[in-house]
């Protein structure tokens, strides 16, 4: 059990993430008119409105809003007294220029490049590396319409840049500093980017 600081609790194997509250957006009601099914001799009655399906709509989230360049952290204990890892999103670039000569176009319309700095402390252990994931699979993009993109991030997120440019996907070591990029593939050019570690219901989000 791990605790999202300062006020919320999430489940994770070894780490404690900082998180907070966010707003919720619901779908708009849609009127359903069954007047055509009523016999002409009877008065027409319009039933009450019903909400459309919201499977991919913006759900309640307990993510901590962050600004570009603002530090986020994972803790090694609960309650948090020892920091195991710190990171920042230093830049969010929409439609970056790919550097690889055979970079495929984005499947969904746009690449987004997140430049990040990750620093581990002496409290970071090998076991913790299994529950820390900065790959595109840990990120979601929520559009201005409140719809959360789901699914495989696609091959192109690994083909836009040289492999040495990316944030390490595994093998983080204690007392180390990493600088790299995470590429996302999205239909949106504005909205919110959410990062959640595996198994955690909440994390962090940035507006872009």
Strands 139-142 and 110-120: unpaired
Helix (H, G, I), strand (E, B) or coil at 130: helix
pLDDT 10s digits, 135-175: 999 999 999 999 999 888 888 999 999 999 999 987 899 99
Q: Rounded CA gap, 53 and 50, in Å? A: 10
State the average pLDDT over residues 32-42.
36
- Judged against a pLDDT cut of 80, whether residue 93 lies above it is answered with yes
From 48, 125, 36, 144, select the one nearest 85 (Cα to Cα). 125
- Mean pLDDT over each residue of the chain, to the nearest integer: 78
User: Who has greater pLDDT, 33 or 82?
Assistant: 82
- 42-56, 79-93, 170-184: which has the minimum mean pLDDT? 42-56
pLDDT for the residue numbered 28: 41
Token pair of 41 as six digits = 């001799």
From 30, 18, 3, select the one nearest 86 (Cα to Cα). 18
Percent of the chain at pLDDT exceeding 90: 58
Other C-beta atoms closer than 10 Å to the C-beta of 15 total 24
Other C-beta atoms closer than 10 Å to the C-beta of 172 total 18
- Judged against a pLDDT cut of 70, whether residue 18 lies above it is answered with no
- Torsion-angle region of residue 29: left (phi > 0), alpha (psi -120 to 50) or beta? beta
Within 135-190, where are the H helices?
Answer: 156-159
pLDDT for the residue numbered 61: 62
* 62: CB partners within 8 A, 6+ apart: 4, 8, 10, 19, 20, 21, 22, 201, 202
Within the chain, where are the H helices?
Answer: 156-159
Q: Rounded CA gap, 192 and 208, in Å? A: 6
Token pair of 11 as six digits = 């489940």
Token pair of 13 as six digits = 């194997």
User: Could you give all domains of the chain from N- to C-terminal order, each with its CATH number?
Assistant: 2-22+57-207 (2.60.40.1240)
* 138: CB partners within 8 A, 6+ apart: 195, 196, 197, 198
């Amino acid at each position: 059990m791990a605790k999202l600081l300062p006020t919320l609790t999430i489940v994770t194997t070894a780490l404690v993430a900082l998180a907070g509250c966010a707003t919720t957006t619901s779908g708009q009601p849609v009127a359903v008119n069954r007047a055509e099914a009523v016999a002409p001799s009877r008065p027409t009655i319009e039933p009450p409105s019903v909400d459309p399906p919201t499977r991919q709509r913006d759900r309640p989230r307990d993510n901590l809003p962050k600004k570009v360049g603002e530090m986020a952290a994972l803790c090694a204990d609960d309650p948090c007294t020892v920091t195991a890892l710190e990171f920042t999103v230093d830049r969010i670039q929409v439609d970056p220029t790919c550097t690889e000569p055979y970079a495929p176009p984005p499947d969904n319309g746009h690449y987004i490049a997140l430049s990040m700095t990750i620093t581990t402390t002496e409290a970071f252990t090998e076991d913790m590396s299994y529950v820390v994931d900065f790959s595109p699979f840990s990120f979601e993009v929520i559009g201005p319409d409140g719809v959360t993109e789901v699914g495989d991030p696609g091959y192109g997120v690994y083909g836009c840049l040289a492999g040495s440019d990316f944030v390490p996907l595994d093998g983080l070591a204690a007392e180390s500093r990493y600088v790299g990029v995470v590429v996302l593939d999205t239909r949106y050019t504005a909205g919110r980017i959410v990062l959640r570690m595996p198994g955690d219901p909440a994390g962090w989000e940035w507006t872009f």
